[in-house]
Amino acid sequence: MKLRKGDRVRVLTGKDRGHEGEIIHALPTEGRVIVDGANVVKRHQRPTKGTQEGGIIDKTLPIPVENVAIICTACGPTRVGYRFDERGVKHRICRKCGGDL
């Protein structure tokens, strides 16, 4: 998975198409990411010892990583590529403009 926590992404499909937000949690084994403010649903929660309050809460659910695109500061939504510098360190680059992400 080429996306990581803290990346700014745009949602490409679904009810939140066009929403831009930051990845707050990445789930690489499942191939999903949780984007701040996207895919928010209402859930009924019973009061428990851990959470004293019950009621209807807003919960952010994961989105498949295929349905989001990273945003390059120079050219907008793009794909991620890699390059190695002279010391052999791997860097993520923008596929459109070639700039570092």
The pTM assigned to this predicted structure is 0.83
Please give the pLDDT value at position 53. 80
Looking at residue 41, its amino acid is V
State the Cα–Cα distance between residues 77 and 80, nearest whole angstrom: 10
The phi and psi torsions of 13 (rounded to 5 degrees) equal: -135, 165
The DSSP string of 12-75 is: -SSTTTT-EEEEEEEETTTTEEEETTSSEEEEEE---SS----EEEEEEPPEEGGGEEEEETTT
Please give the pLDDT value at position 93. 94
Tens digits of residue pLDDT in 29-72: 999 999 999 999 999 988 888 777 888 989 999 999 999 999 99
Please give the pLDDT value at position 99. 87
Could you give the 3-state DSSP secondary structure of residue 7? coil
Asked if residues 96 and 71 have their Cβ atoms less than 8 Å apart, the reply is: no
Domain 8-94: give its CATH architecture.
Roll (2.30)
Q: How many CB atoms lie within 10 A of CB 77?
A: 15
Tens digits of residue pLDDT in 4-30: 999 999 999 999 999 999 999 999 999
